[in-house]
Chain A
């Protein structure tokens, strides 16, 4: 099929993209010398940015991907991951652009060199900071933005004085830039970047308004001693604050909610305790799992207990902390970080904490631990093993645990992005239950079911997500489309109302609202809402796709074409948009173009039986009936529950005059979906062709009966053609039908037939 490639309007031609592009260019300029200057190699970047190189590279990768240089982008992501395997964001981005990074290779601890160099010296500072930092957990616990901001401030202040080491200020600003790739125009990031550039990166000053906490990047995996922290011990392990909580500081509504969501997720999982370390706001991983008291329900779970805080507070938090099985629960914080960074608005203070998360357990980490240890030692609380070693071992164990979790989740996510949905579901359901029952994981599982067209299952999973995290907005657009497919209008309107009430700035909420009105057939209003979703986030591909579908429904095919192309411009792997384009060409009867687009969609998502079904029909329209049958057979094999595949196979057989097989297919279909009028309609046509007019009429009248909105024109016409050579009165013809039907009592076999027949005889 030598059809021309679909006309994908060149990205460069969109004027409004110019602004974003300009900023991307600025960003790139700053990070790597720009497109036109000599570009720095990755090594240069690593040298220049030191510890934060991983974030730099991640950000650079993002810039490259957005400007169509996917190869370079993926290179950057890979490098970033190799520098710091704790990063989730680059891994996620790699999966999304279609690469297949190997989770086992990526999430390995061996790549971290500095574990052994955990031999710190300064411990004193730690102790002095305890009191200061202790206050933090309280603040951290609250979910309000103000608190998190305050927390951050406190953290930063505490770490301010003792800033040292290789904390580049660059780190901090990188963070902010990294944090805000999507939501905030990169310009803000880059403007900060440019400011930073002027102060040489290596200076210890952070221009971001806070003490440089390069720390956030370098989590220290301090471990809680094995004993339950005793309440009264102030100098004991300081406040653990869930790094995510710190990270999630951004004060905007949505991100905060998300962060809360994450905190909620982490719930009883691992806790990143925050050492009162002056230099850094490094999280200390809590590896312990003792539960030490009643759980609080309200405050965000993950927050670490402050040992110094009032005794009541302490047991609560720690208990929550300790209920996790393994230290590997970091995934939560992981998840927090992973999801979070892209969305955190450019908040200087936050930046620090952000990627910090569990980044490099490099040099600095050790500080915390050792400080921790020393403080512990000073209290005489620890046992014989040298605290350093003990802490170090714990740290290692914690990190290892985290890695294994990341590997699992990485595998699951990779499978999902390659549309290997069954496998993704399998992998993700093997996660321990406290990880499985979290918003992010369940959303991925729900999405996997959605892609498999198993809408009932997907709906079940998503309603579970809503139950667990009803503030979660991400992933809800898939839920709304699921409800749209299932035609559950009440649930859909509830969902859209909740989402729009909760967050008017999220495209997902407006997509849900648009879906709701589309289901009600109010297409103009739906169009308005989808346009609003696009306004809120012009880089959200799904909004364009949905808008395109609405335009198709209002027969404005040109606008629909433009929308689908926009969606593809934003995300070339958005197979729904390729499908949409195929549908438009099909409607315009440009069958070869249609087939090409469907095939492209299928290349991205090979397990979709709906796609295969469409390809089969198009091939049949192109007169390639053998191929069509093959394709349809494949579709049925992949998903035997898809009745349309069988239906279309029957219709292809019918068109090829294989009436017996068509009838057989249709009879099977009748068993599966007994109330579908189309099935009877096609059976009627087959019988008509076979010359068995009475059976044909019988089936046609059943088809008409089953169609509650009044007889379909086609059915009427089919009957008409049989009896009206040209101009007979429709009335007489109907009388004839009725007459013939009444005489058909004998041939009823299955219950449905009798039921239908009974219904008919009731009428007369």
Chain B
């Protein structure tokens, strides 16, 4: 029996931010969970602290719902999961669904995790390889490692591509000479 390869950890999303091609927009959304243990809820999921986590407290599938005020372009989803610290609480099968509201969700990605040990980057692209535009994202944990019932999720970040702020519908400039004249501050 071949052991499946472990999911390699991805880069720290902070680096993504520094490239200025994406921006974290979780703060512009309303987050909700299907269930949680007291003291291990949304705040712990969004506190930028990898030590704290969300612990679910209900039946599967466990859901994280992210709702935006307006239709937002989302490019990447980053989830931090660590098998070594969470063992049977570590999610193993995650489904990502998008749509307009709860009854309108469609799955766009399903990923299998095998003993993850860090950040997992989930690109959210539609059929045409462009970032999805949506009102709502739902992350469903369908199964955990070792068939655990509840799940731990330590951190979730959601990224949108940065709009060009320069005038004209052009891609961003690359040299400082151009950037200096791009705007008045």
A interface list, Cβ under 8 A from B: 453, 455, 481, 484-487, 520-524, 545-546, 549, 552-556, 575-576, 579, 583, 586-587, 601, 608-611, 613-614, 617-618, 642-645, 647-648, 651, 672-673, 675-678, 681-682, 706-710, 712-715, 730
Contacts and interface: CB of A to CB of B under 8 A. Distances in A.
A642 B181 contact: yes
Given A481-B185, A486-B176, A549-B185, A678 B20 contact: no
B177 interface: yes
Contact of A648 (B130, B165, B168, B180): B168
Nearest to B182: A644
Contacts of A521: 17-18, 20, 23
Contacts of A583: 165, 167, 183
Given A707-B174, A709-B21, 12 more contacts: A486-B176, A487-B179, A521-B23, A522-B17, A524-B27, A545-B185, A575-B184, A576-B184, A645-B181, A648-B168, A713-B130, A713-B171
Contacts of A614: 167
B170 A673 contact: no
SS class of chain B's interface: helix, strand, loop or mixed? loop
A714 B129 CA distance: 13
Interface string B71-98: 0000000000000000000000000000
B121 interface: no
B127 to A, nearest CB: 10
The 5 closest A-B pairs by CB, nearest first: A712-B171, A644-B181, A714-B171, A676-B175, A677-B174
Which of B25, B163, B170 is the most central at the interface, judged by chain A CB atoms within 10 Å of its CB?
B170
Nearest to A594: B167
Contacts of B176: 486-487
Contacts of B133: none
B108 interface: no
Contact of B172 (A523, A609, A712): A712
B11 interface: no
A484 B180 CA distance: 9
Contacts of A712: 171-172
Contacts of A644: 178, 181-182
B175 A673 contact: yes
A610 B171 contact: no
B170 A678 contact: yes
Contacts of A611: 184
A715 B171 contact: yes
Contacts of A486: 176, 180
B170 A681 contact: yes
Interface in B17-36: 17-21, 23, 25, 27-28
Contacts of A706: 174
B173 interface: yes
A453 B185 contact: no
B185 A484 contact: yes
Nearest to B70: A555
Contacts of B182: 610, 644
A390 to B, nearest CB: 55
A455 B182 CA distance: 13
B178 A453 contact: no
Given A453-B180, A546-B185, A678 B174 contact: yes
A485 B181 CA distance: 8
A485 B172 contact: no
Nearest to B171: A712
A648 B168 CA distance: 8
Chain A CB count within 10 A is highest, among B23, B165, B183, B184, for B184
B173 A678 contact: yes
Nearest to B21: A709
Contacts of A553: 165
A650 to B, nearest CB: 11
B18 A520 contact: yes
A647 B21 CA distance: 22
A177 B20 CA distance: 48
A704 to B, nearest CB: 10
A601 B28 CA distance: 31
- Which one of B175, B176, B179, B180 has the greatest number of beta carbons of chain A within 10 Å? B180
A12 to B, nearest CB: 29
A637 to B, nearest CB: 15
Nearest to B175: A676
B174 A675 contact: yes
Contacts of A714: 170-171
B60 to A, nearest CB: 34
Contact of A617 (B19, B25, B167): B167
A710 B165 contact: no
Nearest to A455: B180
A708 B183 CA distance: 22
B184 A678 contact: no
B9 to A, nearest CB: 20
A707 B175 contact: no
B18 A676 contact: no
Contacts of B167: 583, 586, 613-614, 617-618, 648
Contacts of B163: 555, 587
A729 to B, nearest CB: 11
B140 to A, nearest CB: 28
Contacts of B179: 485, 487
19 contacts: A453-B180, A521-B23, A522-B17, A523-B23, A555-B23, A579-B184, A583-B165, A583-B167, A583-B183, A601-B184, A613-B167, A613-B181, A614-B167, A675-B175, A677-B171, A678-B173, A712-B171, A715-B171, A730-B129
Contacts of A730: 129
Contacts of B170: 651, 678, 681-682, 714
Contacts of B183: 583, 610
Contacts of B180: 453, 455, 485-486
B173 to A, nearest CB: 5
Most buried by B among A524, A644, A710: A644
A681 B169 CA distance: 12
Nearest to B167: A617
Contacts of A601: 184
Q: Which of B19, B25, B130, B176 has the most CB of A within 10 A?
A: B176
Most buried by A among B19, B165, B172, B181: B181
A455 B183 CA distance: 13
Contact of B19 (A549, A555, A709): A709
B181 A453 contact: yes
A549 B173 CA distance: 18
A554 B23 contact: yes
Contacts of A675: 174-175
Given A520-B18, A709-B19, A715-B171, A673 B177 contact: yes
A695 to B, nearest CB: 19
Given A521-B17, A712-B172, A713-B171, A643 B23 contact: no
B10 to A, nearest CB: 15
A709 B20 contact: yes
Contacts of A610: 181-184
B62 to A, nearest CB: 28
Contacts of A676: 173-175, 177-178
A712 B168 CA distance: 15
Contacts of A707: 171, 174
Nearest to B163: A555
B29 to A, nearest CB: 13
B167 to A, nearest CB: 5
Contacts of B165: 552-553, 583
Contacts of B130: 713
A523 B19 CA distance: 14
Contacts of A522: 17
Nearest to A546: B185
Interface in B130-185: 130, 161, 163, 165, 167-168, 170-185
A744 B19 CA distance: 32
B18 A647 contact: no
A681 B178 CA distance: 14
A651 B23 CA distance: 28
Contacts of A556: 28
